[in-house]
Structure 1
Amino acid sequence: MRHLKWLSVLFIAVLVLSGCNGFTKGDSAKKDKQAEGEDGKVVLDFWTFWGSEIRRPVVEKIVEDFNKSQDKIEVKHTFVPWGDIWTKELASIAAGSPPDVVINDINATALRGEKKQAENLSKYLEKDDISGNFYEELWNATLYEGDSYGIPFNTDTRVLFYNKDAFKEAGLDPEQPPKTWDELWEFAEKLDVKNGDKYDRMGFYPLFGAGTDVWMLNADKVNFIDENDEVKINTPEKLDTLKWLKSWHDKYGDNNINSWQSQMESQQGNPFFSGDLGMLVQQPTFFTQIRDYAPDLNFGVALLPEKEPGNGNTSWGGGFVAEIPYGAKHPDESWEFIKYLTDKEAQEYWAVKNFDNVANKEAAETAAESDEFSEDGKMVYGLAVEAMPHTMLTPTPVVAPDFPTLINPEFDNVYLGKKTPEQALEDAEKKVQKLIDQNK
């Protein structure tokens, strides 16, 4: 979502669908015939949305390596486009012919467990407890009533990129990025180059690359709905954050913000590459754009600045899990493949070849030292690994799965000047509490 990440809203819309068309009994019968190969191997259908010229060969090499590693299971990779995969998966579950393994959104894992759209993995974890292989925050996001319904695969976080040459020009130490919100403002003021009502260079705008929710988590480390289903929207820390964000919006104004935002929609024309934007919050994978489109850029990376000294460098992340759809024909064999997919070797290969953050801690730490990365690549990936223990997720609450649609417009009302931060948070909390009461 723009603030709580649009991805969660997409998954919520998909999850509530029922009776979807597109799979028939004939499809199911055909799949049953294909479930056992001519050589007696169990054939698994593995669905992902990774069809790019970069990612598809990587996932298919992992599948090939798994198939060669044993003689009882053969995995076949099926690419299903991003906009279709989860709708088709739900339709296949309803038709009784789901894929054997699917890559799915981590933040909605508990919701799929509650709706019986994913298999409970507890019986496998009793025998093979691999939970300790992953970052705790990622693992906890897979749990519904204490049981896991998916195994973390890849993830992300948010870090601060900054232009070292712009720092030098503004009289700032390029080896000392801002550490607090106050320093962010101070550094931005020095980096700003104003030309009348316009800017030749903007120092920093916190909502480029990060939503309102990211900064609210950074401030108080509390989700909008906590683990006890208590609404935590209208709190002093979140109010301070919204006022702080509004001050940035007022500083630059709609015209400048919109102009810079439109430039950022072009990968090659990102104003950070040209030095027209001094600092930017982004995912670590943003490095691949720098590598490809601005290879000579002199930049640094840092943890998200903390609200005040000692408050912590909390960031936000998401990611994906490998799960067994409810009703899959070969769950035991699917589990064996998922273990391989999320173990160190496959995870490290994925991390290095895609420059992507992985959920397996040991694989991530090893990848950060890979000789396949440039020195800048090692710097960024190492910082990403450092950021993971400070990174929170926003799991979709079962009691209010679509609550972002209620609070995001309230944040927008503040930036548009239609409501005060106090009124917006009060209204957002009332709406979400009403939703929870209705659902319960």
Structure 2
Amino acid sequence: MQMRAKWMLLVVVCFTMLLGCAKSQTTETSTSANKEPETAQTTPAAEEPIELQFYYPIAVGGPLTKVIEDMTAKFTQKHPNIKVNSVYTGSYADTTTKIQAGIQAQQPPDVAVMLSTELFSMLDTNAVIPLDDFIAKDSSFNKEDIYPAFMANSQVEGKTYSIPFQRSTIVLYYNKAAFKEAGLDPEKPPTTWEELTQYASKLKKDGRQGIEIPGSGFAYWMFQLFSLQNAKDVNQNLMSEDGKKAFFNTPENVEALQYWVDLSKKHKVMPEGVIEWATVPTDFIEGKTAMMIHTTGNLTNVKNNAKFDFGVAFLPMSKQYGSPTGGGNFYIFKDIDPKKQAAAWEFVKFMTEPEMAAQWSIDTGYVGVRKSAYETELMKKYAAEFPQALVARDQLQHAHAELSTHNNGKVSKALTDQIQAALTGTTDPATALKKAQEDADKALAPFNK
């Protein structure tokens, strides 16, 4: 009986202790539940892995695929949940063709670098998204930090559809050793069309041209520089801002094309016919031409390979200085997962950060698209050692939007075909631009109803 009483007392004690533990656990659980939102805010969940397809072209000399791969690797280090598959897609034209095929198959890349001039074409196919919401919500990105001349090919009707990346102006390269040999001051490059002709005449000799200007690949772009320099006012360009009209057949443009043709046909300071895009920088590096007009995107290629001292200068002018901007922008595509669009924005933002823009400019010769890139210690040091790196940027004050219209492929081809016809002597400049205008008007007719 006594043993039973003791057993009963032990059971009661144990039950009481268990009840107390349960109450304590309930209280702790309740307290923990009340604090859960605060914990969620301070300890975010692991980010979901995302994979991006990134297409990019290369249009200049040098091992730029490695540069791009290094940049994307740095991005992944900073954003380990985002894997970027960088796909080199050839030339700008090849890249556009592959992207258009992907759009038609409803399998576009997630993000790509394309010519800034493809903006209207991308809008016509409803292929890309505006980036204004990302920009508005992202205090770390300052659109005003990007040079306005580059933004001209990035916006339509107040909306931003692409972010400048590998951007350029056209510049004059000249061989200082050849200048000295010809009795020219190596620190005074030609500043006018007349001087350009005179200098080229003095520089030409057996085995060396006075100047070379490419007529393939981007003939319309090269012609645009002459057009802007000979325009009757600084606001005159080859197209309207809305991309619905082209202005090829003007007296000023006929004069501009005639000057280009005369460099070879009349003055004999340049090879006749169409000079290939890639041939010109090779000829310059090898000393086969004393001067060349080409993209600043070849600057690092020339710097690394030329065995002589060279200069870089503003393009010589007719009535005013002028150069079209050029190069590629980042686009984010429409028919992809919104999470991928957000990840693509992080990638675009990273690739155009001041430090990255500065390093990209140093590695390639392209202009650092952000003003703050030139305030970095990296760029300040480089520019002090190699001031030629600042010429294309400084020329932006005289730069204008590159030729870009609706149905851009047909419009630019219409102009390119006729420029090349004039350069090869199969037609004259006036007839060439008249035909280019007619073909452009037909291509743009559906957009002017």
TM bin (shorter chain): 0.7 to 0.9
**Equivalent position of 2:201 in the other structure:** 189
Which deviates further from its counterpart, 216-225 or 46-55?
46-55
Counterpart pick for 1:320 among 308, 319, 328: 328
Counterpart pick for 1:389 among 393, 397, 400: 397
Question: Aligned AA for 2:110?
Answer: D
- C-alpha deviation, 1:139, in angstroms: 1.3
**Equivalent position of 1:58 in the other structure:** 67
**Equivalent position of 2:258 in the other structure:** 243
- C-alpha deviation, 1:40, in angstroms: 4.3
Counterpart pick for 1:350 among 341, 360, 370: 360
Question: Aligned AA for 1:335?
Answer: W
Does the 8 A contact of 1:314 with 1:391 survive in 2? Answer: yes
Counterpart pick for 2:178 among 163, 166, 173: 166
**Equivalent position of 1:136 in the other structure:** 148
**Equivalent position of 2:315 in the other structure:** 304
Q: How does 1:114-125 map to 2 (within 5 A)?
A: 114-125=124-135
- C-alpha deviation, 1:48, in angstroms: 2.8
**Equivalent position of 1:43 in the other structure:** 50
For the residues of structure 1 that align with 2:424 and 2:57, how far apart are their CA atoms? Answer: 37
For the residues of structure 1 that align with 2:253 and 2:328, how far apart are their CA atoms? Answer: 28
Q: In the alignment, does 2:372 pair up with 1:362? A: yes
SS in 2 for 1:76: strand
Given the superposition, is the C-alpha separation of residues 248 and 88 from structure 1 closer, same or farther in structure 2, using an over 3 Å criterion? closer
Does the 8 A contact of 2:177 with 2:309 survive in 1? Answer: yes
* Bigger share in helix: 2
- C-alpha deviation, 1:168, in angstroms: 1.9
- C-alpha deviation, 1:137, in angstroms: 2.2
Structure number, greater radius of gyration: 2
- C-alpha deviation, 1:408, in angstroms: 2.6
Q: In the alignment, does 2:127 pair up with 1:113? A: no
For the residues of structure 1 that align with 2:297 and 2:214, how far apart are their CA atoms? Answer: 18
Unaligned runs of 5+ in 2: 1-44
**Equivalent position of 1:69 in the other structure:** 78
Q: In the alignment, does 2:235 pair up with 1:227? A: no
- C-alpha deviation, 1:368, in angstroms: 7.8
Does the 8 A contact of 1:400 with 1:432 survive in 2? Answer: no
Does the 8 A contact of 2:128 with 2:332 survive in 1? Answer: yes
Does the 8 A contact of 1:162 with 1:280 survive in 2? Answer: yes
For the residues of structure 2 that align with 1:264 and 1:90, how far apart are their CA atoms? Answer: 25
Q: How does 1:148-163 map to 2 (within 5 A)?
A: 148-163=160-175
For the residues of structure 2 that align with 1:435 and 1:191, how far apart are their CA atoms? Answer: 42
For the residues of structure 1 that align with 2:75 and 2:64, how far apart are their CA atoms? Answer: 17
For the residues of structure 2 that align with 1:132 and 1:262, how far apart are their CA atoms? Answer: 37
SS in 2 for 1:154: strand
- C-alpha deviation, 1:47, in angstroms: 0.8
Does the 8 A contact of 1:44 with 1:334 survive in 2? Answer: no
Counterpart pick for 1:403 among 404, 411, 434: 411
Q: Deviations over 1:288-329 (max 9, x none)?
A: 33334333x022111001114xx1x21133222222111221
SS in 1 for 2:329: strand
SS in 2 for 1:158: strand
SS in 2 for 1:104: strand
**Equivalent position of 1:291 in the other structure:** 303
TM (norm. structure 2) is 0.75
- C-alpha deviation, 1:99, in angstroms: 3.5
Q: What RMSD in Å do the two structures reach over aligned CA positions?
A: 3.4
For the residues of structure 1 that align with 2:136 and 2:46, how far apart are their CA atoms? Answer: 31
For the residues of structure 2 that align with 1:97 and 1:160, how far apart are their CA atoms? Answer: 41
For the residues of structure 2 that align with 1:69 and 1:212, how far apart are their CA atoms? Answer: 43
Question: Aligned AA for 1:223?
Answer: N
Which deviates further from its counterpart, 323-332 or 209-218?
209-218
For the residues of structure 2 that align with 1:353 and 1:184, how far apart are their CA atoms? Answer: 30
For the residues of structure 2 that align with 1:165 and 1:379, how far apart are their CA atoms? Answer: 18
For the residues of structure 2 that align with 1:53 and 1:238, how far apart are their CA atoms? Answer: 34
- C-alpha deviation, 1:263, in angstroms: 12
